[in-house]
Amino acid sequence: MKLRDLILFAIAAIVLSADQASKAWAIENIPLNTAYDIFPPPLGDWIILTRITNSGAAFGLFPQLSIVFTFVALIVSVVIVAYYRSIPTGQWIVRLSLGMQLGGAIGNLIDRLRFGSVTDLLYVRPFPVFNIADAAIVTGVGLLMFRLWRISPKAEPQPVPTDSPDETKSAGNE
């Protein structure tokens, strides 16, 4: 295994560790459905620690599909690991983004398997409550989209003009 292949797992491990540590701290220190101001106003009006559980997708969408999201996280994780080795050298943004997505997917997957729901704890207005795994997934997807957007499409080969007498005559007759 090459050093570039370890980047995926290093980034994923950092995201996973930060996510699980923050959730463990929140579970230990913040009662469920409780909010704590951590900064004085005006910043405190925008950033609040709020512990809730979420059995659905991002932002609490589709809570009845928790088992589906468990399988989606498993499939996405396997696909990322399988695809990662085929990324060309020099694509560090793609490697970083996939590492963030893998770490976030595994972080929320662990919660679903352990608790049946995901612990969310960061409330940054105007967004819904989220966690570090969610932030890593969204940031990773954003980086990947940015990279794909920045790749310039290959120029289509243009036909080489010919100076055949037939084409010259027909062009002049039009």
Locate all alpha helices (DSSP H) within 30-160, ordered by sequence.
Answer: 66-84, 92-115, 132-150
Domain spans in the chain, listed from the N-terminal domain onward: 3-147
- Name residue 37's beta-bridge partners: 48
pLDDT at 61: 64
The number of residues in the chain equals: 174
For residues 103 and 8, the answer to whether their CB atoms sit within 8 Å is no
pLDDT at 174: 46
- Angstrom distance (rounded) from CA 35 to CA 48: 7
Given 5, 37, 111, 120, which residue is catalytic?
Answer: 120
Any catalytic annotation for residue 166? no
Question: What digits encode the pLDDT tens for the residues 99-116?
Answer: 999 999 999 999 999 999
How far are the Cα atoms of 149, 150, 156 from residue 153, in angstroms, in the given order? 9, 9, 9
Any catalytic annotation for residue 37? no
H or E element at residue 119: strand 118-124
Question: What digits encode the pLDDT tens for the residues 159-172?
Answer: 666 665 555 555 55
Question: What digits encode the pLDDT tens for the residues 7-46?
Answer: 899 999 999 999 999 999 999 999 999 998 888 888 888 8
Given 19, 37, 45, 134, which residue is catalytic?
Answer: 134
- Angstrom distance (rounded) from CA 108 to CA 53: 11
- Angstrom distance (rounded) from CA 56 to CA 166: 68
